[in-house]
Structure 1
C-alpha cells in the first residue's frame, strides 16, 4: 500500500490531476486563440481595414503598432491579476481574465472600419487591444500555477508546461480558423469574413468558463492563507526582494518570444507580400505551432530530469546558430523556404526554451508573490520579445534597403543575452516551493 501511495504521489495520471491539467491547457488555449487571432489579422487584414489611407508599408507598420500595444498591456495585466491572484486566490482571477478577454475579442469582431467611422475605428481598436493584453496578462500565470501548485514536486516542469502548450494550441486554432475564412473571395473576407473568427470567441469562452469553475484552489495557496502571510503588496515585495530574479527571468524569456514575433507575425506578412498564397502560409503556420506543442512536451519532461537551465540553454544556442540560415530560407520567397524556417524556429528553438519556462519562472518566487512575480516575468518577456519585434523588424528592413541582415543581428544578440542570464540564475528543479526562494 505504501509503495502504491508513493507512486500515486508522483503521478499526474489521476482523475484530479487530469482535470487540473486539462483546465490549464484548454483555458490557456482559448485565451491565446483570442490574442493570437489579433496577430494574424494585424498581419493580413488590419492594415487594409483600419489603415487603408496610408502607404501600404506604413499601414503595415501602424498595424503592427496596435499589435505591440497589446503586448505592452500584458505586464500591466500581470501586475493587476497577479496582485489579486496572490491575495484572493488563483481560481477567481482566472475566471475574470477569461471573461474580459471574451468581451474584448468579440467587440473587435463588431468594430466598424475607418471608412465607416473615421479615426474612431483605429482608436477603438487600440483600446480593445489593450483590454486583450490586460486579460491575457493575468491568464498565463494563473493557468500555469494551478497546474504547478497541484502537481507532485518531481513533475512540476511537465505540469506547468500545459499552460505553455495551450498557447500554441490556441495559435493553431486561430490560424486554421482565419485560414478557412481566407478561402472566401477577397472582398467577402475583407468585409465580413475576418470578423467571424473573433465572434466565435463567445462560444469558446463559454466552454472555458464551464471547465474553470470546476477546478479547486491550489494546495500551496490554501496553505499560505492559513499562515496569514499576505499583508504586504506582492508587487512591492517582488521589486524590493527579488528584482534580480525578475530581470534575469525576463531577459531569458525574451529569446523565445523574439523568434515568435519574427517568424509567426512579421515573417507571415513578409512572405505573403512576396506573393506566396495567404491560405498556404497560414496552414504552414498552424503546422509550426503544432510542432511547438510537441517540442514543449518533450522539453518540459527533460527539464524534470536534467533541470530547467540546461534544456533552455540548448534552445538558446540553437536560436543563435540558426538565425541567419532561417532568414536565408525566408529570402527565397517560397513556401518551402518559409516552412522549413518556421519549423526550425517553432519546433527546435521556441519549443525547447518554452517547455521549461513556466516552472523556471515559478521557481524564482515564493508562494505569497508567485502569481505576481511569475506573471510579471513572463509578460515582460513577451512584451520585450514579441510585442515590438514585428514593428522593429519592419523598420530594420526599411533601413537595410530590403535586406534582412540587421534583423538577424538583433535576433542573435537577443539569444546571447538570454543565455548569459540563464547562466546567472540558480537551478530550481529541486527547490521547496513552500518555503522562501533564494
Structure 2
C-alpha cells in the first residue's frame, strides 16, 4: 500500500461508493415495485403500469456497459481515483434528481421520459462505479487476503440495500395518500448524504500501488478493453457468464420478490420489507465469511456452490413466501440473499479483478460485468412479472428461469481459471 494510505480510508472509499450505487438502484427498484406504476404511468391497468415501471428499471442497465467502456478505458489510462469521483457524482445526482420529478398526473408523458433520462444517467455512472471500487480494494490488498479486502465492496452493496429497504419501510408507514404525494420522494432526496460523505473520502485517497507500478514500467495500452477481449477472451466471457445468476437473482429476489409478496400475495408491505431488511443484515456477515473462505479454498468452489444452491432454492423460495407467514418469508429471503447470492457476490469482487492484468483490469472488469447486467439484472424483474402474468399467477416459470440463470453461471465459473494465488501485478495474458 502507498505510504500514508490508510487501510480504513481505502475500505470506506470503496464501500461508501458501492453503498450509494446500490442504495440508488434498489430504492428505484422498490419504488418500481410499490408506487411507480401508479405515479408515472396511466392508471387504467395496474398490472401494465407495474410492467412498465419494471421496464424503466431495466433501461438503466443499457447505459451501464457504455459507462463501463468509457470509465474503464480512462481508469486504465489515467488512474482509478479520478473515475471513482466522477462515477460517484453521476450515480448520486442522477438518483437525487428523481426525487424532484413531476408525476404523470402533472405533466403526462414527460414524466416517464424524464424518469428514463435520469435512469440512463444513473446507469452510465454505475457502469464503472462498482468495478472501480473493487479494483481500489483488491489492488491495495496484501497477498492472500484479496478476497477479504474485496468483500468490502459487496458489503457496501448490502449496506446500500439495507438502507434502501429501511428508508422505504419508514415512508411506507405513511398513509397511502401521503406516500404517493410526497413520501416516495424522500428516499431519493436523502441520497445527498451519501454523495457528500463519499466525495469527501474519495477525494482524499491515493492511487493504487499496483496501477502506479504498472504505469512506471510501461505506458498504458491504447485500447485496453480490446486487449482484454482479444488477449484474454476466455476470462472475459467467464466473467460475463459468472455475472448472470448473481446479477439476475440479485435483482429478481428483492425487486420482483417484494412486488410479488406485497401485490400478488397481499402480505403487508411492512412485513415484506422487514423480511428483506433481515436478509440484507444477515448477508453482511455472509459476504465476509464466503469471501474469506475463497481466500483459503479458491474463488471457483465457493462461487459454484452459490450458483447451485440458488438453483436448488428456485421452487422452495416461492413455497416459503406462499405461506404468507412472516418468519417463513424472512427465511426465504435470507436463504436467497445470504446464502445463494452471497456465496457468488462475496468472492466475485476479487475473482473478477484477478481475471485481468493491471493495464486492462478496469476496462475488462467493468465492460464484461455490465454486459452481464444487460443480459440478466436489467430484464429480470420485468421477465419474472411477465412470466407470472402468462402463467395466470403461477410462479413455476419464474423458478425455471432462476434455475437456468444459476446453471449458466455454474458452468461459466467451472470453465474459468482459478486465480486466488495469482500475482495480480503481472500482465498474465495467458491466465
Q: 1:52 aligns with which of 26, 36, 42?
A: 42
Structure 2 CA distance for aligned equivalents of residues 415 and 256 of structure 1 = 8
Q: 1:247 aligns with which of 237, 251, 269?
A: 237
Q: Tell me whether 1:358 sits opposite 2:346 in the alignment.
A: no
Q: 2:340 aligns with which of 349, 359, 371?
A: 349
3-state SS of 1:431 partner: coil
Structure 1 CA distance for aligned equivalents of residues 98 and 389 of structure 2 = 30
1:345-381 Cα distance to aligned partner (Å, 9 max, x none):
0011001111100111111111011011111232223
CA shift at 1:15, angstroms? 7.4
Contact preservation (8 Å) 2:147, 2:347: yes
1:108-162 Cα distance to aligned partner (Å, 9 max, x none):
0000001111101101100100111111111101111111101111111111111
Q: 2:163 aligns with which of 173, 188, 191?
A: 173
Structure 2 CA distance for aligned equivalents of residues 246 and 86 of structure 1 = 16
The residue aligned with 2:215 is 225
Q: 1:286 aligns with which of 251, 256, 277?
A: 277
Q: 1:25 aligns with which of 15, 35, 38?
A: 15
Q: 2:112 aligns with which of 122, 129, 133?
A: 122
CA shift at 1:206, angstroms? 0.6
Describe how 1:363-402 pairs up with structure 2 within 5 A: 363-402=354-393
Structure 1 CA distance for aligned equivalents of residues 297 and 184 of structure 2 = 44
Contact preservation (8 Å) 1:168, 1:293: yes
Structure 2 CA distance for aligned equivalents of residues 370 and 397 of structure 1 = 40
The residue aligned with 2:402 is 411
1:47-102 Cα distance to aligned partner (Å, 9 max, x none):
01001334111110000000001122222211111111111110101101111122
Q: 2:97 aligns with which of 99, 107, 121?
A: 107
| Structure 1 unaligned residues grouped into runs of 5+ | 1-8
Moved over 6 A (4+): none
Describe how 1:178-257 pairs up with structure 2 within 5 A: 178-257=168-247
CA shift at 1:334, angstroms? 4.0
The residue aligned with 1:296 is 287
Q: Which moved more, 1:243-252 or 1:162-171?
A: 243-252
Q: 1:422 aligns with which of 409, 413, 425?
A: 413
Structure 1 CA distance for aligned equivalents of residues 325 and 390 of structure 2 = 23
Structure 1 CA distance for aligned equivalents of residues 385 and 186 of structure 2 = 28
| Structure 2 unaligned residues grouped into runs of 5+ | none
Contact preservation (8 Å) 2:36, 2:53: yes
The residue aligned with 1:431 is 422
Structure 2 CA distance for aligned equivalents of residues 33 and 231 of structure 1 = 34
Q: Tell me whether 1:38 sits opposite 2:28 in the alignment.
A: yes
Q: TM-score, normalised by structure 1?
A: 0.94
The residue aligned with 1:321 is 312
Instruction: Count the aligned residue pairs.
Output: 426
The residue aligned with 2:267 is 276
Structure 2 CA distance for aligned equivalents of residues 75 and 283 of structure 1 = 33
Contact preservation (8 Å) 2:14, 2:153: yes
The residue aligned with 1:151 is 141
Q: TM-score, normalised by structure 2?
A: 0.96
3-state SS of 1:45 partner: helix
Structure 1 CA distance for aligned equivalents of residues 187 and 147 of structure 2 = 33
Q: Tell me whether 1:264 sits opposite 2:254 in the alignment.
A: yes
Q: Which moved more, 1:47-56 or 1:78-87?
A: 47-56
Contact preservation (8 Å) 1:73, 1:137: yes
CA shift at 1:324, angstroms? 0.9
CA shift at 1:177, angstroms? 0.8
CA shift at 1:239, angstroms? 2.3
